[in-house]
Amino acid sequence: MVEWRRHFHQNPELSNHEFKTGKLVADYLKSLGLEVRYPIAKTGVVGILRGGKPGPVIALRSDMDALPITERQHVPFFSTAVDTFNGKTVGVMHACGHDSHIAILMGAATVLSKMKNDIQGTVIFLFQPAEEGPPEGEEGGAKLMIKEGALDNPKPEAVFGLHIESNIEVGNIHYKQGGFMAAADQFVITINGKGSHGSQPWKGIDPVIVAAQIIEGLQTIVSRQEDITKAPAVITVATINSGVRFNIIPEQCVMGGTIRTLDSKMQEDIHERIKRTVQDIAASSGATADVVIENKTLVTFNDSALVTTMLPALQAAAGKDHVQPQNWVTGAEDFSFYGTRAPSFFFYLGGMPKGNDPDKAPPHHTADFYIDESGFDVGVKAFCQIVLNYPTLKGK
């Protein structure tokens, strides 16, 4: 698994570009004797292991894509890959642990294929592209996997997934019943002003000033208008693009960002408040503004009955004291879409070196992201315990 992980880490591929990754996975699953569907959802892989005994169908999922980040050289197998992302040349790095997920699920497939005669039912291995989101104008990710029939033949009655975490100590598993990870929405705000010379702002309508006022206004929606005792929420403006020269007031400014919510009613309300705030602030300066909000993921919802049923399997994998509940998080996962087709359970796996301070662990999606590989066996054991115990535990 370490060898696989380091290969993927040194050869990362962006969303919908996982051509070499997908082929390597598909070829390996075929070598294990699995039924393999490849490609699906552009570069994805579905492997099917039919057990030697009758029983239920369940699915295990891994994601495969990397991020447009240039890695700082902290490991000997660091990435030097580059690619094009939204028209820009970027470094490419597995800065979220998807390389670890591939290796762990390949490891689970290896073990389970050798235990085929003891397995009750069927296991679907989902190796999914574009979890981080497909390139602009393309389909991808869990939505496209589902659309192209990854869960149709055979149809699973439960779907399981894990995510390695840089701030949870190796050997540990964390989980939450119900809403676990946030819904993620992307917004684009286009402010239309009036151009002028930089020395004569009174002759124009400055969209940059309007943008600044809107950014301030958006931050009061969560802090002053929403009841955050119900659930947390986040509004982040992450990009702002306007102008070409220091002494020209531009005609337009475009901002982009993300909304994270864990409550559907709050999500709808925040959308309406964003639109009203943006348009009213723009109008107050004589500008106009358009707001487009696009849903990227749903709330990652862990079926409470499924979690309760399968906790003994996770405890068998990691030890009872190493399986702990945790609070919800504002990160998002397109694993959430699988939950619309079958009860699902998504949990966290520790990837932080023992004894380290979680508050000082490099965050996901950063150039310093780091994973300790010594906990991969716990991930494999968790998947295997789920497969081998699901038929018995679900009947209790």
Strand order in the sheet with 252-261: 233-242, 252-261, 183-192, 288-297
Question: Contact 206/187 with Cβ under 8 angstroms?
Answer: no
CA-to-CA distance for 200 and 198, rounded, in angstroms?
A: 6
- Count other C-beta atoms under 10 Å from residue 175's C-beta: 19
pTM: 0.94
* Tens of pLDDT, residues 265-309: 999 999 999 999 999 999 999 999 999 999 999 999 999 999 999
* Tens of pLDDT, residues 184-221: 999 999 999 999 999 999 999 999 999 999 999 999 99
List Cβ neighbours of 268 (8 Å cut-off, separation of 6 or more): none
- Does the structure show a pLDDT above 80 at 395? no
What is the full DSSP assignment across 114-156? HTGGG-EEEEEEEEES-TT-PPTT---HHHHHHHTTTTTSSPP
Confidence band, pLDDT 50/70/90 cuts, at residue 67:
very high
Residues recognised as catalytic = 65, 131
* Tens of pLDDT, residues 119-141: 999 999 999 999 999 998 999 99
**Cα within 13 Å of Cα(77), Cβ side:** 16
* Tens of pLDDT, residues 4-63: 999 999 999 999 999 999 999 999 999 999 999 999 999 999 999 999 999 999 999 999
Q: Residue type for 150, please?
A: A
Length of the chain in terms of residues written: 396
* Tens of pLDDT, residues 302-338: 999 999 999 999 999 999 999 999 999 999 999 999 9
Average pLDDT of the chain is: 97
- Does the structure show a pLDDT above 90 at 87? no
Q: Residue type for 301, please?
A: F
User: Minimal CA–CA distance to 313: which of 110, 158, 151, 129?
Assistant: 158
Question: Contact 54/120 with Cβ under 8 angstroms?
Answer: yes
